[in-house]
Every structure is written in C-alpha cells, then in structure tokens.
C-alpha cells in the first residue's frame, strides 16, 4: 500500500503508543509544560503524541496556552491528546510536580517554583549564575539537566540528538549563505557537471562533525575533516567509507585548509570545558571573500577567534569579508523536528519515573537520570558546578542512600 508522507507522523505515534502504553504507572504524575520565555526558543519538550502516551499511562499533563505554536503544535492538538490547557505559566507551576522545559528557568520562573518540585531542562552551564542554584536549593528542588543525562552505554542521548540536528543544519545554513542573495560567493555546495563542488572544512570529528560531514557529502561537496584526535578521524573515515579527507588539526594544516575553504564548520569540543580555539584571526583574514563560517560550539565559547554569539533574528555578521553564523541554539530553528527528538528521549524517562513512584524513588535505579541530577533537595550534586561557583556539594549516591 502506498503511504501519504503526511501520514507518517501518525503512523509513528501509533507504533510508539503500542509499545509504551501499558498498565498504569505506580503513581500518577502531574507534569507541567510552560511556554518557553527565552528569545528565539521555539521548541517544546513534548509533542501531542507524547502527551497521549503519558495520559494513557495515567499521568496528568498541564501545558501553557500557546506553548507548542512555534513548533506547529496547536492547543487543540494537545487538548485532544488529553492535556489540560493552562492560561499562565504560574498556573502550570502551581498544578505540577514535575516541570519539563527546553531552556533553563528564567528569573520569573524561578519565582514560580514551589517547594520540592522537580525540573528537567537544559542547564546552559556557560550562562548560569550562582543565584540560579541558590533558588533551587532554597526550595529543595530536584534539578535534572539534559547535558548530564548519560545512559549506561556512556552516551548522552539528548545532547547527541541535538548535535545530530546541529551538524546537519550547519551545512544547510552554510549553503544558504553562499548564495548571491546572502552576499556569498554565489556558488552551490555540490557544483554541477563540469563545475567543481564547494570545499567544506569541518573542525572536529565528534557527533556534530559527523552529521555535518554526512550532510555535506549528500549535497555533493568536497569534505575535509580535521581533529587533534587520530582515533576520532579514523572512526569517521570508516563510518563514511573514506569519502572524506582527514587531517590533524595543527597550525600548518589549518592555515592551508582555510585558504581554499568555501565553508568552515566549527565543531571542536572539549567535554565539560570551553571549546578549544583552533582558528586564529590571521587564518580568517586569509580566507576567500564571501566564504562562510558556521561556529556550532559558540555556546561553549566557539572554536574560531572571530566568532561571537548571534541570534536567530539576527544570525550573521561579516568579519574580514567572511560571513559568520554563530547561533547558540541552532536546533530551535527546526523546532518541530527538535521537539520530536526531545519527546522521543524524554517520554521513556518520564514513564520510568511514574513506574518507580516518583522522581526521588526513580533515582535509586535509573542511572541515566541519576547522572543527570545536579541539585537534590538542598544540595548541589555536581562537583564541576560546585567548583565553578565556589559552593558546597554532596554526591547524589550519598544523598539518596541516606534517604534525605
């Protein structure tokens, strides 16, 4: 039978429901989805399909009016899935014990927090301040961060999903800014018969770099990947059937590559630290006029000396006649896709919380959520955060074992 592509989301939902809707969970959770308040944040944590699965397992979901609109999910979609529509963020917080967000809590939302609530969201460590954690600890909040959730296979599922989107989207953006209407060189990434393709240089062979390479190859571009880790380069070469050219990211190779590159994708990362800055200002000065830089790690400081954070509403600037695109939350620009990605990872975790009898009880057995916990009751539980803000901390394992 031939399927209408527009039906695929509904088919996927029914398949997911078949596997995830079972007998009711141990407790009925009250789950809240406030509308995102951050500038240019268009995502939401759950799709209507995710809400339907949670409702089928006995949980209540409260969503602020208009929370899903920018991801093209209407209030009617959520209401039909069983969610209750709340008219203010404050109302969502009052009715819920578990808050799901994309961005960290704003100052206004911190005021809405009630005693002993739980929050699952991104933390954005690079932009946080001490009073954020002071408020959570004062109200005995259990805080779980997307960036810290780590499965038993040592994968960070939410981070990986967003990096996959970012890598693919980075090439898509670069292709656009190479066009004449965007003041680029006026070239196509893939070229045509008799006209050579553009050259894309990717800095970093991690997940973002891999998906950037896959997308650039799909366009037909010539792709170079550079990294300081030979094992990462070897792995990526094998994964892509040696269709890419690899080189060690030293000053000599970087300087040479940037001179003939049409596109630079910055994806060099250092886990839990600031991104290494591989590209100097002099290297950017030597690039071709009209070439494009997309720095995907700008939220970690960026890996290119001339990078500075931009926004979706004002995404680019020129430096030395090179277009720079440095938007920190790139997946927000494909909010519907990114929301599905978040939903697919979060729903099983929420079901596990319900099956265990609550967030506190779930942390005993769920190593992924336990690794994601950065505040528990009145204690900070991440050494890196404690060191960053000169605060005390206690290991989460010690806290749950002592039944605090």
Known catalytic residues are 124, 299
Token pair 């529509």 is found at 85
**Alpha-carbon distance values, 371 to 143, 251, 364, 366, 383 (Å):** 11, 37, 11, 9, 12
CA distance 23 to 351: 11
Helical spans, DSSP H, in 39-190? 48-56, 75-80, 89-95, 107-112, 130-138, 157-177
Residues whose CB is less than 8 angstroms from the CB of residue 62 and which lie 6 or more positions away in sequence, other chains included: 30, 31, 32, 33, 83, 84, 86, 91, 92, 95, 96
Supply the DSSP symbol for 373: E
Task: Name the DSSP letter for residue 376.
Answer: E
Are the C-beta atoms of residues 119 and 141 closer than 8 Å to each other? yes
**C-alpha R_g of the chain:** 22
Q: How far apart are CA 250 and CA 236, in angstroms?
A: 18
Task: Specify the residue for token string 């729903």.
Answer: 347
């Amino acid at each position: 039978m031939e399927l209408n592509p527009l039906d695929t989301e509904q088919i996927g939902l029914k398949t997911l429901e078949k596997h995830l809707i079972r007998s009711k969970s141990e407790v009925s959770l009250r789950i809240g989805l406030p509308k995102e308040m951050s500038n240019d944040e268009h995502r939401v944590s759950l799709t209507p399909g995710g809400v339907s699965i949670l409702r089928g397992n006995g949980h209540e979901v409260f969503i602020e009016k208009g929370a899903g609109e920018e991801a093209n999910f209407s209030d009617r979609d959520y209401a039909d899935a069983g969610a209750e529509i709340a008219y203010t963020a404050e109302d969502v917080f009052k009715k819920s014990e578990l808050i799901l967000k994309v961005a960290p809590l704003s100052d206004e939302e911190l005021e809405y927090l009630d005693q002993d609530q739980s929050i699952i969201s991104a933390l954005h460590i690079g932009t946080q301040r001490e009073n954020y954690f002071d408020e959570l600890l004062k109200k005995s909040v259990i805080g779980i961060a997307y960036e810290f959730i780590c499965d038993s296979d040592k994968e960070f599922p939410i981070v990986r999903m967003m990096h996959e989107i970012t890598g693919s989207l980075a090439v898509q953006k670069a292709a656009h800014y190479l066009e004449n209407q965007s003041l680029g060189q006026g070239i196509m990434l893939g070229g045509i018969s008799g006209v050579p393709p553009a050259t894309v240089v990717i800095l970093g062979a991690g997940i973002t770099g891999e998906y950037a390479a896959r997308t650039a190859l799909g366009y037909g571009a010539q792709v170079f990947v550079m990294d300081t880790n030979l094992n990462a380069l070897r792995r990526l070469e094998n994964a892509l059937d040696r269709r890419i050219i690899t080189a060690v990211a030293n000053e000599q190779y970087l300087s040479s590559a940037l001179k003939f590159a049409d596109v630079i994708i910055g994806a060099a990362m250092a886990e839990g630290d600031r991104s290494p800055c591989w590209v100097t200002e002099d290297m950017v000065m030597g690039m071709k006029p009209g070439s494009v830089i997309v720095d995907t790690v700008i939220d970690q400081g960026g890996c290119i000396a001339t990078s500075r954070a931009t926004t979706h509403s004002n995404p680019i600037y020129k430096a030395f006649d090179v277009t720079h695109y440095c938007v920190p939350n790139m997946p927000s620009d494909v909010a519907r896709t990114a929301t599905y990605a978040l939903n697919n990872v979060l729903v099983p975790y929420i079901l596990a919380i319900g099956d265990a009898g609550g967030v506190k009880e779930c942390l005993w057995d769920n190593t992924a959520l336990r690794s994601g916990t950065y505040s528990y009751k009145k204690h900070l539980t991440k050494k890196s955060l404690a060191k960053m803000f000169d605060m005390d901390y206690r290991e989460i394992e010690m806290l749950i074992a002592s039944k605090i």
